[in-house]
């Protein structure tokens, strides 16, 4: 009967240390998003299959996990349900289904797993969490400014210090491509090439554009506008100054292109609105930011962390998607944090609070003999009431073995309450870090432990540092 004990292909078991890390990140995200007035939403893992099919293109369709019909229909091989593939289609469904009861400006966050039958690879799983925040119902750039600020607070709360919230605008990008002579039919192709600028440089992008049949621009170069915009950041220590210079340069380059200029004004509003928020120190106009997804219609954003390839999340305005079930346009702006990526980076960089990953308890109580058990469980009750996480070794055993077990569990304090201690009304506590042993009167032990583990003892319960660290 052995075997078959591995998780399914591309899926993961999260043992306690994994789960604690994941919860730590999720809690900080939640606390910050709540401070911005975003509300939690949860939707079912299974959706009617028609809800999902046709929403993710041909390739996406193939990656959807489909559920067999049950009972008499099972043999037919037909499917009627499918596993959630992202959090956006369920949101669109919810917005349509409850439009009568949802607030006019519906702001929700959602942290739930999605499932994709992708070929598993390093860092790519078939079950993974998405962490989305979306504000629905307003075209105001206040929404973009708030989203950028919220995402900034999340990253600061998680302990990231050096990062950019890169920002661009679809209509600005479109205007720049037109200005450089790329016909609209080739904009999508050109964006794909532009997206690689980080990796292959300006010349590489120009070569690729040439290979893809994009005609040369006005001055014999493809990327004239970008060659004007990118140097604005060289040797410009002041971010807001560089952003302002970029806006001015964009206005010159895009003169006469009404749609693109509206995009420039929107970017300018975002910079202006966010000036007194934590986002101001991180926002950075990036003329090369394109974001792959076709559905963005306005501002687009992406997080770039110093010394880290790839992003920790991205988002933007997409006014056409949320209304898919309503048959109308519904303004929306959202951001998706790369939850799994953030976990990998934070683990690699050891950004979790000490003790979070290893210790399941602050104190372990040893058991000396059967007679002592009721007293020891009473002691456990007192310590727990004082806020400590308390493990009780479940059976009387050699003390050495119990201490060894506590050490293997990274528990900081171990108590001994043998017959002698009980007779004298004392509890012996050993600090497993320093090796020091102390005798504490029984009535004082709860206060002693609470003081030594610090208030708000458990890392999981500690108030999320979001607000505090956001000051940094």
* Least Cβ distance, residue 365 to a second copy (angstroms): 10
Asked whether position 258 contacts a second copy by CB under 8 A, the answer is no
Question: What is the per-residue binding string for a second copy in 283-322, x denoting contact by CB under 8 A?
Answer: ----------------------------------------
For residue 28, which of 420, 442, 423, 337 has the smallest C-alpha distance? Answer: 337
Q: Which two tokens stand for residue 26?
A: 């999720």
- Which neighbouring-strand residues pair with 134? 108, 334
The answer to whether the Cα torsion of 290, 292, 297, 300 is positive or negative is negative
Separation CA 85–CA 64 (nearest Å): 7
Question: What is the per-residue binding string for a second copy in 7-36, x denoting contact by CB under 8 A?
Answer: xx--xxxxxx-xxx-xx------xx--xxx
Q: What is the DSSP letter of 69?
A: P
Asked whether position 268 contacts a second copy by CB under 8 A, the answer is no
* Least Cβ distance, residue 274 to a second copy (angstroms): 7
Please report the beta strands in 388-443, taking only residues with DSSP state E, as ranges in sequence order. 390-392, 413-416, 426-431, 437-441
Asked whether position 274 contacts a second copy by CB under 8 A, the answer is yes
Separation CA 69–CA 52 (nearest Å): 16
> Are the beta carbons of 145 and 277 closer than 8 angstroms?
yes
* Identified binder of a second copy from the candidate list 28, 131, 132, 146, rule CB under 8 A: 146
Question: Which lies closer to a second copy via its Cβ, residue 192 or residue 467?
Answer: 467
Asked whether position 184 contacts a second copy by CB under 8 A, the answer is no
Site for a second copy in 113-132 (CB under 8 A): 113, 115, 117, 126-127
* Identified binder of a second copy from the candidate list 247, 261, 308, 324, rule CB under 8 A: 324
Axis crossing angle, helix 16-35 with helix 141-158, rounded to the nearest 10: 140
Query: How crowded is residue 70: how many other Cβ atoms within 10 Å of its Cβ?
Result: 9
Asked whether position 103 contacts a second copy by CB under 8 A, the answer is yes
Asked whether position 240 contacts a second copy by CB under 8 A, the answer is no
- Which neighbouring-strand residues pair with 169? 299
* Least Cβ distance, residue 108 to a second copy (angstroms): 7
Q: What are phi and psi of 413, to 5 degrees?
A: -115, 140
Question: Which lies closer to a second copy via its Cβ, residue 28 or residue 209?
Answer: 28
First vs last C-alpha separation in the chain: 56
Separation CA 424–CA 266 (nearest Å): 74
Question: Which lies closer to a second copy via its Cβ, residue 10 or residue 181?
Answer: 10
Q: Which stretch binds a second copy (CB under 8 A): 220-228, 286-294, 303-311, 357-365?
A: 357-365
What burial class does residue 106 get, using C-beta atoms within 10 Å of its C-beta: 0-12 exposed, 13-18 middle, 19+ buried? Answer: buried
What would the 3-class secondary structure string for 121-135 be?
A: ECCECCEEEEEEEEE
Question: Which lies closer to a second copy via its Cβ, residue 303 or residue 390?
Answer: 390
* Identified binder of a second copy from the candidate list 25, 28, 29, 51, rule CB under 8 A: 51
Half-sphere exposure in the Cβ direction for 299 (13 Å, CA): 31
Asked whether position 378 contacts a second copy by CB under 8 A, the answer is yes
Cross-sheet strand order for the sheet of 363-365? 390-392, 363-365, 413-416, 426-431, 437-441
Asked whether position 360 contacts a second copy by CB under 8 A, the answer is yes
* Least Cβ distance, residue 395 to a second copy (angstroms): 4
Site for a second copy in 194-213 (CB under 8 A): none
C-alpha of 176 from chain center: 31
The answer to whether the Cα torsion of 112, 300, 57, 88 is positive or negative is positive
Question: What is the per-residue binding string for a second copy in 407-446, x denoting contact by CB under 8 A?
Answer: -xx-------------------------------------
H or E element that contains 328: none
Asked whether position 111 contacts a second copy by CB under 8 A, the answer is no
Asked whether position 75 contacts a second copy by CB under 8 A, the answer is yes
Say how many residues touch a second copy, by CB under 8 A: 128
* Identified binder of a second copy from the candidate list 388, 416, 426, 427, rule CB under 8 A: 388
Q: Which two tokens stand for residue 184?
A: 């609209």
Asked whether position 158 contacts a second copy by CB under 8 A, the answer is no
Q: Which stretch binds a second copy (CB under 8 A): 79-87, 171-179, 198-206, 211-219?
A: 79-87
* Identified binder of a second copy from the candidate list 233, 295, 325, 448, rule CB under 8 A: 325
């Amino acid at each position: 009967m052995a075997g078959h004990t591995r998780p399914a292909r591309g899926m993961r078991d999260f043992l306690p240390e994994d789960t604690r890390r994941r919860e730590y990140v999720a809690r900080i995200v939640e606390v910050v998003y709540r401070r911005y007035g975003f509300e939690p939403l949860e939707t079912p893992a299974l959706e009617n299959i028609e809800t999902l099919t046709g929403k993710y293109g041909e390739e996406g369709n193939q990656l959807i996990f489909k559920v067999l019909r049950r009972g008499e229909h099972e043999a037919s091989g037909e499917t009627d349900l499918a596993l959630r593939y992202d959090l956006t289609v369920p949101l669109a469904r919810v917005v349509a289904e409850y439009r009568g009861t949802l607030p006019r400006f519906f702001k929700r966050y959602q942290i739930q797993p999605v499932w994709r039958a992708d070929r598993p690879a390093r860092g790519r799983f078939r079950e993974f969490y998405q962490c989305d925040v979306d504000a629905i119902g307003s075209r105001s750039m206040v929404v973009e400014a708030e989203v950028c600020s919220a995402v900034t607070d999340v990253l600061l709360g998680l302990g990231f210090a050096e990062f950019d919230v890169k920002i661009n605008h679809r209509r600005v990008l479109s205007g720049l491509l037109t200005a450089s002579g790329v016909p609209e039919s080739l904009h999508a192709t050109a964006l794909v090439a532009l997206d690689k600028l980080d990796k292959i440089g300006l010349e590489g992008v120009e070569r690729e554009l040439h290979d893809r049949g994009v005609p040369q621009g006005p001055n014999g170069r493809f990327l004239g506008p970008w060659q004007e915009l990118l140097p604005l950041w060289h040797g410009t220590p002041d971010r807001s100054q560089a952003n302002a210079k970029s806006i001015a340069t964009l206005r010159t380059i895009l003169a006469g292109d009404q749609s693109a200029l509206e995009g420039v004004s929107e970017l300018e509003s975002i910079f202006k609105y966010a000036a007194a928020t934590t986002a101001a120190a991180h926002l950075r106009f990036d003329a090369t930011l394109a974001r792959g997804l076709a559905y963005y219609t306005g501002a687009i954003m992406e997080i770039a962390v110093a010394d880290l390839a790839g992003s920790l999340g991205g988002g933007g305005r997409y006014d056409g998607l949320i209304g898919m079930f309503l048959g109308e346009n519904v303004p929306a702006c959202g951001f998706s944090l790369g939850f799994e990526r953030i976990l990998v980076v934070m683990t690699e960089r050891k950004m979790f609070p000490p003790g979070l990953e290893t210790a399941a308890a602050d104190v372990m109580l040893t058991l000396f003999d059967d007679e002592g058990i009721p007293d020891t469980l009473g002691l456990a009750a007192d310590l727990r009431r004082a806020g400590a996480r308390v493990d009780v070794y479940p059976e009387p055993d050699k003390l050495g073995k119990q201490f060894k077990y506590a050490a293997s569990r990274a528990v900081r304090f171990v108590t001994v309450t043998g017959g002698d201690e009980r007779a004298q009304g004392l509890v012996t506590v050993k600090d497993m870090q320093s090796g020091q042993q102390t005798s504490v009167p029984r009535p004082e032990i709860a206060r002693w432990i609470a003081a030594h583990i610090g208030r708000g003892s458990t890392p999981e319960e500690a108030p999320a540092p979001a607000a505090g660290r956001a000051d940094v």
